[in-house]
Structure 1
Amino acid sequence: MPTPVNFLTEEQAAQYGRYAGDPSPAQLAQYFYLDDTDRQFLRPLRGDRQQLGWAVQLGTLRFLGTFVEDWAAIPPAVVAYVAGQLNMTVPADMDHYGGSRTRREHALRLTALYGYSPFEAQPAHWRLVRWLYQRAWLMAERPSVLFDRTTAHLVEQKILLPGVTTLTRLVAQVRDRAQSRLWRRLAALPHPAQRDALDSILAVQPKTRLAPLDILRRAPTRPSIRGFQQALDRLDTLRALGAVDWNLQPIPSARLGALARHAATVRAQAIARMPEDRRLATLVAFTAVFTIRAHDDLIELLERYLTELLARTQRRSDQKRLRTLRDLDAAARALREACAVLLQDPDPNTDLRATVFARVSKEAVQTAIRKVDTLTHPPDQTVAFQELWRHYPQIRQVLPRLLAGIAWQATPAGQGTVAAWEFLREHESQATRSWPTAPTTGMTAAWRTVAVDDKGRIGKKAYTFWVLSRVLEGVRSHDLYVTPSERYGDPRAQLLQGAAWDAVRPQVLRTLNWAVDAESSLRPVREALDAAYRTTAAHWETNPAVRLESFAGKDRLVLSPLDRLEDPPSLRRLRTRVAAVLPRPTLPDLLLEVHQWTGFADAFTHVSQGGERIKDLALSVCAVLLAQACNIGLDPVVHAGIPALEYDRLTWVGQNYVRAETLAAANATLVDYHAQRPLARIWGQGEVASADGLRFVVPVRSLHAGPNPKYFGAGRGVTYYNFTSDQFSGFNALVIAGTLRDSLRLLEGVLDQHTGLNPHEIMTDTAGYSDLIFGLFGLLGYQFSPRLADIGEARFWRWEADPDYGVLNRLARQRIRADLIIRHWDDMLRVAGSLKWGTVNATALIQALQHGGRPTLLGRAIGELGRIYKTRYLLAYLDDESYRRRILTQLNRGEARHGLARAVFYGKRGELHQAYREGQEDQLNALGLVVNAIVLWNTRYMEQALDALRRRGQEITDDDVVRLSPLGHDHITMLGHYSFEVPDVVAQGHLRPLSPFDE
């Protein structure tokens, strides 16, 4: 579908080539600062008006890439900044400059002097079109995003901005050319038989009323033999369509993924009605991407099945042992009597056998020994073998297909597992109970006892389960991987290397402020560690919160907990008065009002990327978001007779507009708008954030849900891992199955966020605490600040043994291995660069570096660097009470935000009824978006309330304002009838009136 030329909203078109507000101080310094050359061009100009007009036009040209004719549209802050540099006051008649011939002459001279070229001038225009085409070909960006990128490129290349229609038309034309090329190249890949097979998956079956495409979209949800069969059938069907035969290397992965997402969302009938090239291209992209996903889903199913099987068999074995405790007691007592005789008789001439058997008969001892052998396990046995063997007939139903369907690759540590897997693939079908030989690299003594008999023959049943257990360990440690894969690939292969690393290394070093030479880089880090020790030691005697205590011959650090920070009466009065005057909106019209301010609903574009717009789309989007965020389904928000709120319309909007990328774009709009509010800037500058998990029970069958009795009882659930800024806004979130250790996903959430905030300090609970995380955060220029539950267990590290740190010498006993850091420095920089450039998934890389609790050499080197940053953090944590309180305050903000999210997500008892990962992420991200809308609405009206209180003469201190919170919700109606009718005053673009003040 061609890209419409009018893909910009009216507001976006109006802001093109214009000031959107006051430039920031950094922007003023970058674009409006006058250097010596600029001043040289200014000197010949006569009068303050001409000099100021020239200088402001120059800065405007640099900042916007064009000139502004209306002088009144230039922010006063810009004029004042330039006038200050020229040591002049702004002339009173400056408005006349905007419409004068002098301004136009200045514009022409500025263009020539500073090397700006007209939009149509060659070869600059040809280079622009080539750049735009390359970006449109490589990136699956929305037209509006591509427009913004092109505008920035024009400014950077000193090309004057054309009219908005000219540029939108060019973007649409180039984007359509790239899209047509993509369709042609993908449609040409399958041969005729494969084309027929692809078209066949669109045919709706009369019995099920589903097309095969609908079935292929669905991932398995049940870790069972039937689930394996469904997953294997799905994978076989997708593989039979022929993706393995297609050369997809020249196709940009982003474009392929976007087309596959489209195919995974729209109805099969809609794809069938597409023109031939587009239809085939869509099916080819779907097949290529979903073949990889189906393979990953099968591995995830295997991992989940084996994990549950081992846990279940261990529980049953423990239950059996409890039932046989009386027999074990009897056998133990009999053996105790026999052993007591051996210990009690000191006479070496006594016939001990006769004495023992006189006390306990030989038959009783033999019976007791057999009981002990039956009812106890060797100390090194961690698997309930006898219970496990019972499941062999079930696993054999799918084992041959599993062995054939998964081709493992491995690191050196996993080569033995791959050899065993291949042996099992070749010999499993043999009608035998044992083999004379088989690969057994890595087999423990406990497994060898049950797998290898006295003659050295290897039992088929035990060997099969040993191989499966090794596969489970290899997947968890990332020693086993598959190619290609989205979730189970080798993260080490995704690191920048070779020519790619050499090309970006200088930029990585500049961005992260590191040097190629390790010793030069580590010198300031070493000096900062030494300074932190000396500062903390100097303050020790005057710091009443810390002390050292000796316990069991060891020194133990004791840190007194923070005292409760009492609310002063003035703060309590302020909270009460602000809450009392806030308007009382319903949640639906709150969302519509926030959209009226920000236009966040405009970020929801059609999945086809064609920019389809329909009347009252924002109303439909807000209704769908509310239904998902409140967990109530569509029925309560449906209104018959209102086209935008009819069931079919809402279903269509939910399927085609609400998805991961549009939710992220809309959330970024809200976060960035909120970040500019004056009250939000009082709370923080967006440089500090916290991360914490919110747990949801998932009562439906789902692979992407895990057990944890503490949070989910007897069921399963997910963790919604939130990142909250110091302005109370949520700038990113991840959905984690079960309650995976937080630190594994922490860095991923920080790096993969697309808002205007740039948090450099991240605070977490103790669960996110590890040397490796400290090291990676330090490499990337972030400050990691976890709240420590028991600092007495912390270890302090020092660079050298010589410096005297006073009382801290008793703590700082461990030495940093600087040689390990220096030896791996380039690889450490390569890891940091790969994470910064997004070539590797942070979570997968951390798991690989940790290697199942046995860090790799590179992981140990990064952890060694992390010990430096960790020790510096610990010293600051001990020395500065305000720092500890700041961490606590930020974490409390995250927890309070969770309380608001719980209040919004009230439907279905607060349980998440989504079976698939994508559905879980979309619904919980819709929840995060609605919570951010509430935060923004509260912030703006709290500003109004504070201004009104000041006008009434109430004294309001900054200390009280900074402790206010926009997370209250008692004044918002979330239950009942959802009307989606905003008050007239809001519809006219005004804020609601505050409630009357109580006198």
Structure 2
Amino acid sequence: MRKIGISPDVAGRIHVDRFRQYVREGRASPAYMIERYIPSRRRATLVAFLLDLEERLTDSALEMADKLIGSIFTRAKNARARSYATTSKNVARLMLIFRRTIDALTDAVDTGEDPIEALDASVGWNTLLKARPEVATIAETASLDSLTVAADRYATLRKFAPDLLETLQFRAGKGSAKTIAAIEMLRDLNRSGKRDLPADAPMPFRKEWRKIVVGDDSKINRRLWEIATIAHLRNKLRSGDVWVERSAGYRRFDSYLLSEPKAKPVVSALGLPPIADEWLEQRGRELDWRLKKFAQRLKRDALEGVRYRDDRLQISPVRTIATPDAEALADRLDAMMPRIRITELLHEVAQETGFLAAFTNLRTGEACPNENALLATILADATNLGLSRMAAASQGVTRDQLLWTHDAYIRDDSYRAALAVLINAHHRLPFSRVWGDGTTSSSDGQFFRGAKRGASGGDINARYGVDHGFSFYTHVSDQCAPYHINVLSAATHEAPYVLDGLTSHGTDLKIVEHYTDTGGAADHVFALCAMLGFRFCPRLRDFPDRRLAPMAPVTAYPSIVPLLGKRIRTEVIAEQWDDVLRLVGSIKAGHVAPSVMLRKLAAYERQNQLDVALQEIGKIERTLFMLDWLENPDLRRRCHAGLNNSEQRHALTQAIYTFRQGRIIDRSHEAQQYRASGLNLVIAAIVYWNTIYMDAAAQHLRSTSVPVPDDLLAHTSPVGWEHIAFSGDFLWDRAAASTGRKALNLPPDSRAA
């Protein structure tokens, strides 16, 4: 790519959105199409495409190296764990010998008997001598570092590391100069073929590894030094301390943030004070008052469902239970829903909302003229059927039409725009307000198995067994509408992605309060949610084990000292306040995704001060939330009900995403995201359609003098699917011809009336 000789500076000569448009055209257009362009447009498209391709190739190489290095150490840790397991029986036997030895020596001291004779009589001197080498082996195994075990996979590292270091140019600030020096030395060694390292070889990695790398003879072990250097480089790349030129995902840390002048007006609009002292004083006063009030109520047993026994909190679970009347009403509404095919449902929703207009041609900007082909393409993503099988199972569309439609109209931004149209249309329906006003939401991940090992099968998460896979992380509003979705590796922590959906959904929803389970909770998320204007309310599985964090000395709250953790380090918050505001402003302005910054901050080998400041702010906000949770049973019920919306959505997902046994076989993240986005769009269409007909059913019941109170309707849900046919032949022409709304499924006597 570099031999072509394109300067990366040319990308800065046009607006970034225009550049991205050229890139999208280049990636989607076949060669014969680009050949027909006029010379200036053809040249611009090719140059933009090639610049983007170099970035993607660079990022792909680094991501592959990241996984390979990580797997080397993961296998080393697993090997060490297995060695521990094999010695467990010996450890138990040796500990019994050790206990008998101590008992014998203790008795000898008490009785004045000769210790050696007592030991020989009780344990046996020969037994102790035989145990000596076993003890030495187990002690050596226990002290074995993962770096030493990783050295066994040195050959794997050598297969790719020299090419990686030779091909890419790494840059770093002054704080990482040793890392760059180590990389340069490793490059020279690879070029010259030398094996021995000089005595003054740079060692940028942690101190524990330096002791292991240098042997007893004061010589540096080349294998251990090289593995430690590459592992250290991986961590530095993750955090942004070391970056790569012409890369999109491994840029300099500061490049992800707005400049201070640009961030300042964004921060001001959020109402955050420019100086930390004002914020700390207000939060400190509130936290002190809340802790004292909580201590008093806890002492009087005045908290509903909360008890303080043996220095530990006991919290009774809160359940949202629908009454028999509500369940009966829900069953009655479900029975009245018209029976419909998914093809007809999609056509009807498209006619009412116009969401298909969001799918514009990549080159011309025009809407798709073949609605059947576009809906079939979307449904092929949603059901995991694929374009070829969808064409074979469809009437009214061909495989070539689906392939052309997918290339020209299906993009991540078009999926997001179409979803926003649907969510906004649903939000405007008066009946949707029986479930909520669109100000609260929840998010949760759903696991999908990937392809077999060797393909792009995803990562393993022990929670889901030994299958490789991915997680669809979805945000659902209190109106049951899924307004955002992300595809994550199964091994990826969910917490960094909570804010992605809240800050970049692009709909008319004004989310104020958000619920997650424990997987989405982290102190950093508490901090950023509070500063961005969201109330973060996770359902914490380990709630009693978490500590409240005071800003005053713990002695100020004597009755709840066992519940308190370390004091908040306010001095760190004050020192890093400007950088915190800059980060918050960058996220609010959409300059960087929250997940990108949280993952980079988490990648630092040693916590940097910005990371620590966010964590301390998060402890304050988490403590205030925990007090709210303990004092307010209504909050606990809202959180539980909100997470139920996500669970209901998961059930509908399993009913739709059924083909290929629900496995994700796509290799690229882009294709995987298309699957998830198509699935989310179809679910949003179902929720919209169900809401329309549930409204009609409720109006019919009221017209026949049947009471339908809103408090009972709140226990119903628009994510039912028993009346929808997802499989069979997809008759698109027939679906397009069936215009207008369907009649409710009423008993014969009701129809006659």
Q: What TM-score do the two structures reach when normalised by structure 2?
A: 0.89
Q: 1:611 Cα shift?
A: 2.6
Q: 1:920 Cα shift?
A: 0.3
The amino acid across from 1:995 in the alignment is: N
Q: For residues 58-207 of structure 1, what are the structure 2 equivalents within 5 Å?
A: none
What secondary structure sits across from 2:146 in the alignment?
Answer: coil
1:257 aligns to what? 20
User: Matched residues in 2 for 1:272 and 1:529: separation?
Assistant: 66
**Alignment check: 8 A CA contact 2:338 2:744 kept:** yes
Report the more deviating stretch, 701-710 or 583-592.
Answer: 701-710
2:229 aligns to what? 467
**Alignment check: 8 A CA contact 1:704 1:916 kept:** no
The amino acid across from 1:285 in the alignment is: A
Q: For residues 63-462 of structure 1, what are the structure 2 equivalents within 5 Å?
A: 238-244=1-7, 246-316=9-79, 319=82, 377=140, 379-383=142-146, 385=148, 388-410=150-172, 414-437=176-199, 438-445=201-208, 448-449=211-212, 451-462=213-224
Q: List per-residue Cα deviations over 1:622-649 (Å, max 9, x = no partner).
A: 111111111112345327996x611111
**Alignment check: 8 A CA contact 1:692 1:894 kept:** yes
What secondary structure sits across from 2:743 in the alignment?
Answer: coil
User: Matched residues in 2 for 1:336 and 1:523: separation?
Assistant: 56
Q: For residues 707-718 of structure 1, what are the structure 2 equivalents within 5 Å?
A: 707-711=460-464, 713-718=465-470
1:968 aligns with 2:716: no
User: Matched residues in 2 for 1:695 and 1:782: separation?
Assistant: 27
Q: 1:851 Cα shift?
A: 4.7
1:583 aligns with 2:338: yes
1:558 aligns to what? 314
1:633 aligns to what? 386
1:900 aligns to what? 652
For residue 622 of structure 1, the aligned residue among 347, 351, 375 is: 375
User: Matched residues in 2 for 1:963 and 1:446: separation?
Assistant: 58
1:611 aligns to what? 365
1:571 aligns to what? 326
Q: 1:929 Cα shift?
A: 0.5
User: Matched residues in 1 for 2:41 and 2:273: separation?
Assistant: 49
The structure showing larger relative contact order (alpha-carbon pairs under 8 Å, at least 6 residues apart) is 2
1:502 aligns to what? 261
**Alignment check: 8 A CA contact 2:330 2:715 kept:** no
2:744 aligns to what? 994
Q: For residues 12-51 of structure 1, what are the structure 2 equivalents within 5 Å?
A: none
Q: For residues 823-834 of structure 1, what are the structure 2 equivalents within 5 Å?
A: 823-834=575-586
For residue 980 of structure 1, the aligned residue among 725, 732, 753 is: 732
1:118 aligns to what? none
Question: Which protein is bigger by CA-based radius of gyration?
Answer: 1
What secondary structure sits across from 1:858 in the alignment?
Answer: helix
User: Matched residues in 1 for 2:145 and 2:246: separation?
Assistant: 34
User: Matched residues in 2 for 1:997 and 1:813: separation?
Assistant: 63
User: Are the structure 2 counterparts of residues 618 and 418 from structure 1 closer, same or farther at C-alpha, using a change threshold of 3 Å?
Assistant: same
User: Are the structure 2 counterparts of residues 415 and 998 from structure 1 closer, same or farther at C-alpha, using a change threshold of 3 Å?
Assistant: farther
**Alignment check: 8 A CA contact 1:475 1:481 kept:** yes
1:748 aligns with 2:500: yes
User: Matched residues in 1 for 2:553 and 2:98: separation?
Assistant: 56
User: Matched residues in 2 for 1:349 and 1:874: separation?
Assistant: 61
User: Are the structure 2 counterparts of residues 808 and 443 from structure 1 closer, same or farther at C-alpha, using a change threshold of 3 Å?
Assistant: closer
User: Are the structure 2 counterparts of residues 702 and 487 from structure 1 closer, same or farther at C-alpha, using a change threshold of 3 Å?
Assistant: farther
User: Are the structure 2 counterparts of residues 813 and 264 from structure 1 closer, same or farther at C-alpha, using a change threshold of 3 Å?
Assistant: closer
Q: 1:369 Cα shift?
A: 6.3
1:18 aligns to what? none
1:845 aligns to what? 597
1:482 aligns to what? 244
Q: List per-residue Cα deviations over 1:179-204 (Å, max 9, x = no partner).
A: xxxxxxxxxxxxxxxxxxxxxxxxxx
**Alignment check: 8 A CA contact 2:691 2:718 kept:** yes
What secondary structure sits across from 2:250 in the alignment?
Answer: coil
User: Matched residues in 2 for 1:931 and 1:466: separation?
Assistant: 48
1:512 aligns with 2:270: yes
For residue 711 of structure 2, the aligned residue among 959, 966, 975 is: 959
User: Matched residues in 1 for 2:386 and 2:405: separation?
Assistant: 14
1:186 aligns to what? none
User: Are the structure 2 counterparts of residues 435 and 966 from structure 1 closer, same or farther at C-alpha, using a change threshold of 3 Å?
Assistant: same
Q: 1:380 Cα shift?
A: 4.3
Q: 1:773 Cα shift?
A: 1.6
Q: For residues 765-914 of structure 1, what are the structure 2 equivalents within 5 Å?
A: 765-800=517-552, 811=563, 814-852=566-604, 854-914=606-666
User: Are the structure 2 counterparts of residues 457 and 640 from structure 1 closer, same or farther at C-alpha, using a change threshold of 3 Å?
Assistant: closer
User: Matched residues in 1 for 2:687 and 2:237: separation?
Assistant: 41
**Alignment check: 8 A CA contact 1:436 1:456 kept:** no
**Alignment check: 8 A CA contact 1:332 1:368 kept:** no
User: Matched residues in 1 for 2:353 and 2:292: separation?
Assistant: 50
User: Matched residues in 1 for 2:49 and 2:368: separation?
Assistant: 27
What do you get for the CA RMSD once the two structures are aligned?
A: 3.5
Q: List per-residue Cα deviations over 1:20-43 (Å, max 9, x = no partner).
A: xxxxxxxxxxxxxxxxxxxxxxxx
Q: 1:892 Cα shift?
A: 0.6
How many residues are paired up? 741
The amino acid across from 2:534 in the alignment is: Y
Gaps of 5+ in 2: none
User: Matched residues in 1 for 2:116 and 2:627: separation?
Assistant: 69
Report the more deviating stretch, 473-482 or 948-957.
Answer: 473-482
Q: 1:596 Cα shift?
A: 0.6
Q: 1:854 Cα shift?
A: 4.7
Q: 1:592 Cα shift?
A: 0.7
User: Matched residues in 1 for 2:602 and 2:85: separation?
Assistant: 37
User: Are the structure 2 counterparts of residues 379 and 760 from structure 1 closer, same or farther at C-alpha, using a change threshold of 3 Å?
Assistant: same
User: Are the structure 2 counterparts of residues 599 and 312 from structure 1 closer, same or farther at C-alpha, using a change threshold of 3 Å?
Assistant: same
User: Matched residues in 2 for 1:258 and 1:984: separation?
Assistant: 32
1:946 aligns with 2:702: no
1:157 aligns to what? none
What secondary structure sits across from 1:689 in the alignment?
Answer: strand
User: Matched residues in 2 for 1:894 and 1:462: separation?
Assistant: 47
User: Are the structure 2 counterparts of residues 786 and 325 from structure 1 closer, same or farther at C-alpha, using a change threshold of 3 Å?
Assistant: closer
For residue 600 of structure 1, the aligned residue among 350, 355, 360 is: 355
Q: 1:745 Cα shift?
A: 1.6
Q: 1:866 Cα shift?
A: 2.3
What secondary structure sits across from 1:898 in the alignment?
Answer: helix
1:720 aligns with 2:472: yes
1:119 aligns to what? none
What secondary structure sits across from 2:724 in the alignment?
Answer: coil
User: Matched residues in 2 for 1:594 and 1:399: separation?
Assistant: 53
1:127 aligns to what? none
What is the aligned-residue identity percentage? 28
User: Are the structure 2 counterparts of residues 433 and 370 from structure 1 closer, same or farther at C-alpha, using a change threshold of 3 Å?
Assistant: farther
1:165 aligns to what? none
Gaps of 5+ in 1: 1-237
**Alignment check: 8 A CA contact 1:606 1:612 kept:** yes
Q: List per-residue Cα deviations over 1:572-592 (Å, max 9, x = no partner).
A: 221111111100111111111
Q: 1:677 Cα shift?
A: 0.6
What secondary structure sits across from 2:665 in the alignment?
Answer: coil
User: Matched residues in 1 for 2:701 and 2:586: separation?
Assistant: 51
What secondary structure sits across from 1:578 in the alignment?
Answer: helix
User: Matched residues in 2 for 1:515 and 1:389: separation?
Assistant: 51
Q: What TM-score do the two structures reach when normalised by structure 1?
A: 0.68
What secondary structure sits across from 1:579 in the alignment?
Answer: helix
